[in-house]
Amino acid sequence: MKIGAALIPLVGWGLAAEGPDATRRVHLQAIRRLVGEFDLAAVELNGDFTTLFPDVFDRAYYERVAQLQDDLGFACTVHLPFLWLDGLSLAEPVREATVECITKVVELTEPVAVESYVLHLWGTWSSLMATVQAMPDGEKRTLLDQMLDRAALTLEQIGQLVPARKVCVENIERFPWRAILPLVEERGMRICLDVGHLAVEGGDPLEFLADHRELIGEIHLHDAFPGGASGAGARDHLALGRGKVDYAGLLDKLVDGGYDGVLILEVNTEADLRESVERVRLWM
């Protein structure tokens, strides 16, 4: 098992005031810190940076990441862009733009040896439409079927960009995962198990692991509080030990089962990252 982290805790979401070159240096130094200072074996790159700041996170930047990967020897994954995007959108221009953004990120990250590409297949509006309570059952079923048709097309197009086994579709909130799972299996793709998202929904990560072990290609780990039926009080992306997730039990099961993929600590601040790394050091 290769334990790693995303860059967000060390770089945030903005640009350095000094300009593009300074921003690139900040991100490259963050990679060095994750591998050296934090002693992590994997780094997850965030494709949204390329979508939001294309003049900064360009081909040359990823070539420098690849050089760092050669020098430092870390595993690398890519979280495909998802902000303001939606692969299930019934508005076809939005869905097409989603695939276009994903295609761009895949092309630009070609210099990097990528173990897996994490995909948020659906966005906020698809989640909301799938959970509308007042809609008649027949109408909701028709709407869901239409969105699943869009999902199938999006997955087909992404499967033409990278090997299917490298595509890891993430479980995210409020959309019926059981409806998506057959589409993933049919195409030989895999799952990114997001433990915190699952916990927020009231799911059991150990049960999910038992049911889908062979399909799990990557794991996102963060602590969370479940929100119950109403969703009130739900919180995730917390430092390990700050919520209700049995992360120790999960890690033990992963080791016992011989999981050799990437596990990304997905928290938002440097302090939370330090706390989480200390809590998983036994398994590193």
Q: Is residue 179 part of a domain?
A: no
Helix (H) / strand (E) containing 198: helix 195-200
Q: Is residue 102 part of a domain?
A: no
- pLDDT of the residue at 233: 54
Q: Is residue 195 part of a domain?
A: no
The residue ranges of the chain whose pLDDT is under 70 are 133, 227-234
The total number of structural domains in the chain stands at: 1
How wide is the angle at C-alpha 265 spanned by C-alphas 23 and 228, nearest 5°? 120
Placement of tokens 């070539």 in the chain:
63
Which ranges of 109-166 would DSSP assign to H, the alpha helix? Answer: 124-130, 137-159
Q: Is residue 10 part of a domain?
A: yes
Is-contact 101 85, C-beta < 8 A? yes
Q: Is residue 42 part of a domain?
A: yes
Domain that holds residue 40: 1-79
pTM here is 0.94
Q: Is residue 90 part of a domain?
A: no
Q: Is residue 44 part of a domain?
A: yes
- pLDDT of the residue at 133: 63
- pLDDT of the residue at 82: 96
Placement of tokens 């999902």 in the chain:
151
Classify residue 241 as left (phi > 0), alpha (psi -120 to 50) or beta.
left
Q: Is residue 159 part of a domain?
A: no
